[in-house]
Amino acid sequence: MQPNTLLDAILDEAGVSHAGLAAHVNQAGRARGLALRYEHTAVARWLKGQRPRGQVPDLICEVLAGRLHRSVTLDDIGLGVPGEPFNPHGTSLSGFVERATALWRSDEQQRPHLLGAPAVTGTPAVMPVWEWENPPEDVDVSRGGRHRVTCADIEMLRAARAHYEQMYRKAGGVATRSRIVGFLNAETAPLLRGSYTDETGRQLHRATGGLVAVAGICAYDSDAHGLAQRYFHQALRLAKASGDRRLGAYVIALLVNQSLFMREYRQAVAFSEAALRTAGRHITPALASDLYAMQAKAFAHLGDGTSALSCIRRAETAAERIRRGHEPDETGYVQPGLVNVQVAEALLSLGEIAAAAEHAHAAVDNPAHDRGRVHRLAMLSTIELRQGHADQAVVTAVQMAEQARGMESQRLRDRLRAVREHLARSGCAGTSEAAELIDGALRVPL
C-alpha cells in the first residue's frame, strides 16, 4: 500500500482539511441516500493508500470539483484503477509528471504517511525494472507549456545534481535531503510542466532523472526506504523518457544496493542482470564493475560461492578498463578502491578472511571522498578483528570515527554501531578510546 500523494496535493490545493473532506463526503452521500459517517481518521487512511469503498471515490471527486470549480477525475485523486498499486511506467508521461511532482510536494511538507511508508516487494518492486527494460519506448516527449525550457535550464539541473551529490558525500543524506527536495519543487517541477521539443525534453528528463536519483539516495540514507524506492522508480521512468540506457542502468544499481540492504538477495541478482543485459554495449566499465561486485555480495549471502567468485573476477576485469573522463557524472562514485571494498565484503561472507583483508587494505590505501572512506575503514576494522588483530582494529576504528564526525547519515550510524559492538565483544585493550570517539560521532542529531 503506497501513500496517495495525488489526493494529498489536491486537498492542499482545495484548502480542505481532513475533517472537512470527511464532513463534505458525508453530506454528498446523504444527497444520494447514503448514510456515511466518515471522520478525519478515514481521510488519513486514504492518504496512506487505502481505497475508499463503493461510491466514495466519486463523492470525493464531486466535493473537490465544487471547491476547485473544475472537473476532478478519479485519476486526479490517485484512485483511478481499483485494486492495483500505482506503477509509474503504466501511465502517460504527462500523468507521470503530475504524480512525481505530487510526491515531491508531499515530501517537502514531511507528510508522515509518506515518510514512514515501507518499501514494496514482489511484483510492485519488479515491474518498474521490467517496464524500463521492455518496449514500448517514448516516441515523443515534447510538451506545450507556458515557460520555454532552455539549455541554460538543463545546465542548472546538471549543476544542482553535482552540488547535492557532493553535499551528500560530505554531510550525509539526512542533512541534504530537505535541500534537494526543495529544489525539485521550486525549480524542477515548473520545468517539467514547461514547453519543450522532443530533443530538449529528452535532455530535460535525463537531467531530472539524475537529480531525482540523488534525492532517492538521500532518502535511503535517512532510513525512508519506501520513499527512496519511489524516487528510484521515478528516476528509472525519467531515464526511459530520456532514451539514455546508461542512466537507467545506474538507477538500477541504486535499487540493487537497496535490495542488498533489505536482504532481498535474489532480487539484487535479478536487477543486476537486468541492468547489464539491457544497457549492453552502452554500459560503462565503472558501472559494470559496481554491478558485478554487488552481485557477488548477493551470491555470497545466498551461499553460492562459485557464482560469487565468478562475479568478483568480472568486477575486477571491468574495473581495469575504467578510463577517467570517459564516464558519465553519475558513475563518479566508482572511485579507485570501491570495487575492493565491495569484494572484501563478499569474500568475508564466504569466509575467505585473508583475501578479504587484502582487498580491504587496497581499498583504504586508495583515496576516497569522506563518506566512502568511513565505509572502507569500517570494513577493514571488522576484518582485522576477524583476523585476531584487535589492537590494529582499534586504531582503524579510531580513524573511522574521526572521519565520520559531523556527518548526518543513518547508514554511517549503522556502520559505526556495528564496529563498536564488534570492538566491545573483542575485549581488547584500547577499545574505550575508540568507543568514546564512536559515541561522540553517534551523538550528532539526525
Q: At 196, is the secondary structure helix, strand, or coil?
A: strand
Q: Residue 417, Cβ neighbours under 10 Å: how many?
A: 12
Please give the mean pLDDT across all residues of the chain: 91
Confidence of residue 68 (pLDDT cuts 50, 70, 90): confident
Per-residue pLDDT of 384-398, as tens digits, reads: 999 989 889 989 998
Which of 113-117, 191-195, 220-224 is predicted least confidently?
113-117
- At 219 the pLDDT is 97
- At 88 the pLDDT is 45
Contact call for residues 19 and 39 (beta carbons, < 8 A) = yes
Q: Kindly give, in sequence order, each residue whose CB lies less than 8 Å from that of residue 317, ignoring residues fewer than 6 positions away.
A: none
The C-alpha atoms of residue 213 and residue 244 are separated, in whole angstroms, by: 14
- C-alpha angle 407/412/413, rounded to 5°? 95
- At 70 the pLDDT is 84
The C-alpha atoms of residue 386 and residue 374 are separated, in whole angstroms, by: 19
- At 396 the pLDDT is 93
Domain chopping of the chain, boundaries: 5-84, 90-243, 264-363, 369-446
Contact call for residues 431 and 395 (beta carbons, < 8 A) = no
Cell numbers 519488479 correspond to 126
Grid coordinates representing 194 are: 514547461
Contact call for residues 43 and 143 (beta carbons, < 8 A) = no
pLDDT above 70 covers a percentage of the chain that reads: 96
Per-residue pLDDT of 178-188, as tens digits, reads: 999 999 999 99
The C-alpha atoms of residue 264 and residue 266 are separated, in whole angstroms, by: 6
In Å, what is the CA distance from 394 to each residue of 275, 404, 430? 39, 15, 7
- At 440 the pLDDT is 81
Per-residue pLDDT of 259-285, as tens digits, reads: 999 999 999 999 999 999 999 988 999
- At 90 the pLDDT is 47
Per-residue pLDDT of 139-159, as tens digits, reads: 999 999 889 999 999 999 999
Per-residue pLDDT of 339-370, as tens digits, reads: 999 999 999 999 999 999 999 999 999 988 88
- At 55 the pLDDT is 87
Q: Is the pLDDT of residue 82 over 60?
A: no
Q: Is the pTM of this model over 0.95?
A: no
Confidence of residue 86 (pLDDT cuts 50, 70, 90): very low
Helical spans, DSSP H, in 195-337 = 198-221, 225-242, 245-261, 265-279, 285-301, 305-320
In Å, what is the CA distance from 348 to each residue of 262, 308, 354, 364? 19, 12, 9, 16
Half-sphere exposure of 4 (CA within 13 A, CB side): 25
